[in-house]
């Protein structure tokens, strides 16, 4: 039967990327469970719903939609839907329509679902497919490369608290130059755009967006790998502590009373 695989995402239960990920997962195992948001939750990050009830509905065999965030989905899957049963051996999140590179991972619901799986002791991989608006999405690229990436990274031991963040370039499979490991990069500061509009009742509302400035990425970062036409595989650590800074400030604080 194979490993028990849990699928989640942030683009919603009807996302084409989730359908592609299901194809990939079913090529690995017959024991596949899908728990995804009812609606798109892009930008939800690692948020969970605590101020209103969650709605859960079965939409097929081992397939559920949650009116909540990606984190809600993983929590409900492990602690409710599979309660008393075997826990997932592997969590796959995505495939997100758009990049999750650099600081995007702090906003991403796709990465957040993998974070929650990681916190629950489940090996977790987030997948994202770069794309351009109004252009065909190269779903053939993850179809070709994701199974091998999953097999290879699962063949080694991961430290606790580590997840994998995989980004596929906006290229057809035959144009991909390879698969490279990378570090999380960082863009030059983006220009934040807050656009004010007026609704039909004369009340203001706002759209938040970004105008990305061109920049040269640092070597070995996820941005640099994508610029080379390769697939980026970034191991990310959940623990955000900075031991070096802690040691520097420790003597300045320890004698405060």
Express each pLDDT in 109-162 by its tens digit. Answer: 999 999 999 999 999 999 999 999 889 999 999 999 999 999 999 999 989 999
Mean pLDDT, residues 188-213:
86
Q: Can you list the domains of the chain with their CATH numbers?
A: 5-185+217-240 (3.40.1210.10)
Query: Given this model, what pLDDT does residue 210 score?
Result: 77
Q: Is the CB of residue 91 less than 8 Å from the CB of residue 125?
A: yes
Percentage of the chain exceeding pLDDT 70: 99
SS3 106: helix
Mean pLDDT, residues 204-211:
87
Cβ atoms within 10 Å, residue 212: 9
Query: Given this model, what pLDDT does residue 202 score?
Result: 95
Q: What are phi and psi of 162, to 5 degrees?
A: -120, 135
Tell which residue, 67, 115, 107, has the closest CA to residue 91.
115
Q: How confident is the model at residue 249 (pLDDT cuts 50, 70, 90)?
A: confident
Distance separating alpha carbons of residues 221 and 124, to the nearest angstrom = 20
Query: Given this model, what pLDDT does residue 133 score?
Result: 85
Query: Given this model, what pLDDT does residue 170 score?
Result: 96
In this predicted structure, the answer to whether residue 40 has a pLDDT above a threshold of 90 is no
Query: Given this model, what pLDDT does residue 208 score?
Result: 86
Distance separating alpha carbons of residues 94 and 231, to the nearest angstrom = 15
Give the helix ranges, DSSP H, for the chain.
16-26, 70-76, 109-119, 140-154, 222-227, 243-253
Q: How confident is the model at residue 42 (pLDDT cuts 50, 70, 90)?
A: confident
In this predicted structure, the answer to whether residue 41 has a pLDDT above a threshold of 90 is no
Q: Please, what is the average pLDDT of the chain?
A: 93
In this predicted structure, the answer to whether residue 2 has a pLDDT above a threshold of 90 is no
Q: What are phi and psi of 124, to 5 degrees?
A: -135, 140
Distance separating alpha carbons of residues 222 and 107, to the nearest angstrom = 16
Distance separating alpha carbons of residues 19 and 88, to the nearest angstrom = 19
The radius of gyration computed from the CA coordinates of the chain, to the nearest angstrom, equals 20
Query: Given this model, what pLDDT does residue 161 score?
Result: 93
Query: Given this model, what pLDDT does residue 49 score?
Result: 86
Query: Given this model, what pLDDT does residue 180 score?
Result: 95
Distance separating alpha carbons of residues 32 and 241, to the nearest angstrom = 34
Angle between helices 140-154 and 16-26 (to 10 degrees): 50
Residue 81 DSSP label = I
Give the chain's end-to-end CA distance (angstroms, integer). 60
SS3 93: strand
């Amino acid at each position: 039967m194979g490993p028990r695989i849990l699928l989640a995402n942030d683009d919603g239960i009807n996302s084409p990327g989730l359908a592609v990920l299901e194809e990939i997962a079913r090529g690995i195992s017959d024991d596949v469970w899908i728990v995804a948001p009812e609606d798109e939750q892009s930008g939800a990050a690692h948020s969970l719903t605590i101020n209103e009830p969650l709605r859960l509905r079965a939409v097929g065999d081992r397939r559920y939609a949650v009116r909540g965030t990606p984190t809600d989905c993983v929590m409900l899957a492990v602690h409710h839907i599979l309660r008393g049963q075997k826990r997932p051996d592997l969590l796959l999140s995505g495939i997100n329509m758009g990049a999750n590179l650099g600081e995007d991972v702090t906003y991403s619901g796709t990465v957040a679902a993998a974070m929650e799986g990681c916190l629950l002791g489940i090996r977790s991989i987030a997948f994202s497919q770069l794309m351009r608006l109004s252009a065909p999405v190269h779903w053939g690229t993850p179809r070709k490369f994701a199974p091998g990436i999953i097999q290879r990274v699962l063949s080694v031991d991961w430290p606790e608290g580590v997840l994998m963040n995989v980004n596929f370039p906006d290229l057809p499979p035959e144009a991909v130059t390879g698969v490279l490991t990378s570090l999380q990069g960082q863009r030059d500061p983006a220009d934040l755009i807050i656009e004010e509009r007026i609704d039909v009742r004369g009340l203001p509302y706002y759209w938040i967006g970004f105008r990305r400035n061109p920049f040269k990425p640092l070597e070995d970062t996820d941005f640099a790998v994508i610029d080379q036409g390769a697939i980026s595989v970034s191991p990310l650590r959940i623990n955000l502590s900075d031991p070096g800074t802690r040691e520097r400030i420790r003597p300045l604080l320890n004698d405060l009373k």
